Amino acid sequence: MASLNEFLFVSGLLFAIGLAGVIIRRNIIVIFMSLELMLAAASLTLVAFSRYHVTDNGLPDYNGQVFVFFIITVAAAEVAVGLAIIVALYRARQTINVEDLNSMRG
C-alpha cells in the first residue's frame, strides 16, 4: 500500500520535471505544456491530502477535491487565453521561440 509520502514525492517529481521543461525548452508552446504539468502535479498533492485526511464521519475530506475541480476549471480557461495570445504573437512576429522575443529586454 502506498503511503502519503510516496504520493507527495511523485507530485514533487512531476513538478520538478515541469520546472525543468520551463527552464530548458525554447518553444513557447512546450513551455506552456510544462506549466500545465506543474498545475496537475499540484492537484495530485491536493487529492492525496484529501484522501489521507479522514474526517469525522470516516470519509475523505472533500474540500481538497473541490479545490482540484476549481483548479481544472481555471486551467482550462488559462489554456484557452494563453493559446490565443500565442497565436496573436505568432501572427505579429512569425516566431514562437522565446529567445527571439526580446523586445522587452532592458
Partner 1 sequence: MHSLLFYLFSFLAVAGGILLVAFRNPVSSALSMVLSFVGLAGLFIGLNAYFVGIVQILVYAGAIMVLFVFIIMLLDLNNEEKVRFRSSTVVLGIIIPLCLALQILGVIQSQDTKEFQPITEETLATAAESFPEDGAIHKSLAHEKTPKLPDTNLIGQQIFTHYNFPLQVIGALLLVATIGVVVLSKRTAKTRPTDS
Helix, strand or coil for residue 102?
coil
Q: Does 35 participate in binding partner 1 (rule CB under 8 A)?
A: no
Q: Does 42 participate in binding partner 1 (rule CB under 8 A)?
A: no
- In whole angstroms, the minimum distance from the beta carbon of 106 to partner 1 comes to 18
Binding marks (x or -) toward partner 1, 46..85, rule CB under 8 A?
-xx-xxx-x-xxxxx-xx-xx-xxx-xxxxxxxxxx-xxx
Q: Does 98 participate in binding partner 1 (rule CB under 8 A)?
A: no
CB-based contact 92:84 (threshold 8 Å): no
Helix (H) or strand (E) holding 67: helix 63-93
Q: Does 43 participate in binding partner 1 (rule CB under 8 A)?
A: yes
For residues 86 and 75, what is the distance between their CA atoms, to the nearest angstrom? 16
